[in-house]
Amino acid sequence: MPSRRRSDRGPAARPAIVPVPVPVVIALVIGLLAGLATMAGLAVVMGARAQQQVQPLVADLSKHLVAITTAFSGTDVLLFGATDGPGDVVLVVRGPRTTKVVRKKARLAGVIWANRDSVTYDNVPAFYQVFASRPLEEIAPKSVLSRHQIGTENLVFTKVDQSVTDSFVPGFRAALVRLNQKQQLYGEGVLPVTQLANRLFRAELHFPANVPTGSYSVEVYLIRQGDVVSAEITPLVISKIGLGAEIFDFAHQQAPLYGLAAILVAVITGWAAAIMLRRN
């Protein structure tokens, strides 16, 4: 038998390994990390957009500043918004917090009327009005309305003099609410919120000519099955501008000078009128 010949080529040739420069490796790693960071950023943005899309309640005002001039006779502000589905909408407009003193008159010696008793309240809203898509008693239980101070009967006024007994207070509290309602600063009832297709809503907020200046809050509640599922607070500022505002600020900041100026103007006016009458 012919003998087998060993191959003269020797062992099989292996592919050569070309070393990769270090700068190239670093560049590849940096590129990979940058790609991962970009993907993470996109995920965060998409998550934020998804949260915005499922926000259950969105509301805003047609304007956030009401300017009071010398010709101001009241104004209306439109509140509009949308919900993510069916539900009742309740709006509460609260004015700046003030301190109010309520006095009770009594006849002295059966002849003259004079202030006899008084109660001082703190944290009293200077303006208060409620709007709702339905009667409040049909929207939420008393406990929910009291928790959020929705309705004049649920407002919490703080007594400055804690020595005044609780049995002495209710009459004064009711008198304070009636006085503000008479001045059109408190609503006597609940005004309507107009809803469209169970998603869009709107309401006309009216502010009278004697509306107090300051920072207001417009609270919007979305209520389902008697519970508040979402809420928003939109700010509103009512401010005096122009010459009337400057005179108002001067009268309050420089009261003695304002009083002297008023007396001087009255004297000069009377003197000028007397001269004109003498000439005639």
Q: What is the pLDDT of residues 186-202, one digit of tens each?
A: 999 999 999 998 899 99
Query: With the C-alpha atoms ordered 171, 179, 159, 216, is the resulting torsion angle positive or negative?
Result: positive
Q: Is beta strand 227-240 parallel, antiparallel or unpaired with respect to 65-68?
A: parallel
* pLDDT-based confidence at residue 87 (cuts at 50, 70, 90): very high
Rounded alpha-carbon distances, angstroms, from residue 167 to 33, 129, 170, 175: 72, 27, 7, 15
The mean pLDDT value for 69-73 works out to 88
- 106 vs 27: which has the higher pLDDT: 106
pLDDT at 105: 74
Q: Which pLDDT tens digit goes with each residue over 230-270? A: 999 999 999 988 655 556 555 556 667 667 777 877 878 87
Distance (Å, whole) CA 158 – CA 122: 5
pLDDT at position 7 is 47
Burial of 248 (0-12, 13-18, 19+ CB in 10 A): middle
Mean pLDDT to the nearest integer, 49-70 = 82
Domains parsed from the chain with CATH numbers: 53-240 (2.60.40.1930), 241-271 (no CATH)
In this prediction, residue 19 carries a pLDDT of 58
What's the pLDDT score for residue 23? Answer: 58
Give the C-alpha separation, 54 to 83, whole Å: 10
Q: How confident is the model at residue 47 (pLDDT cuts 50, 70, 90)?
A: low
Q: Is 263 helix (H, G, I), strand (E, B) or coil?
A: helix
Which of the residue ranges 46-60, 139-153, 255-269 would you say has the lowest mean pLDDT? Answer: 46-60
Cα 241 from Cα 247, distance rounded (Å)? 10
pTM: 0.68
State CA 197 to chain mean position distance: 26
Residues with Cβ within 8 Å of residue 64, at least 6 apart in sequence: 234, 235, 236, 237
pLDDT tens digits, one per residue of 162-183: 666 666 677 888 999 999 999 9
Sheet strands (E) in 47-87? 57-61, 65-68, 75-83
Share of the chain above pLDDT 90, in %: 49
User: Which stretch, 39-53, 99-113, 190-204, 240-254, has highest mean pLDDT?
Assistant: 190-204
Query: Is the per-residue pLDDT at 110 higher than 60?
Result: yes
Phi and psi angles of residue 54, each rounded to the nearest 5 degrees, phi first: -100, 15
How do residues 199-238 score in pLDDT, each as one tens digit? 999 999 999 999 999 999 999 999 999 999 999 999 999 9
Please report which confidence band the pLDDT of residue 82 belongs to, taking 50, 70 and 90 as the band edges: very high
Task: Identify the pLDDT of residue 118.
Answer: 81
Beta-carbon contacts of residue 183 (< 8 Å; ≥ 6 apart)? 210
Amino acid identity for residue 232 in this structure = E
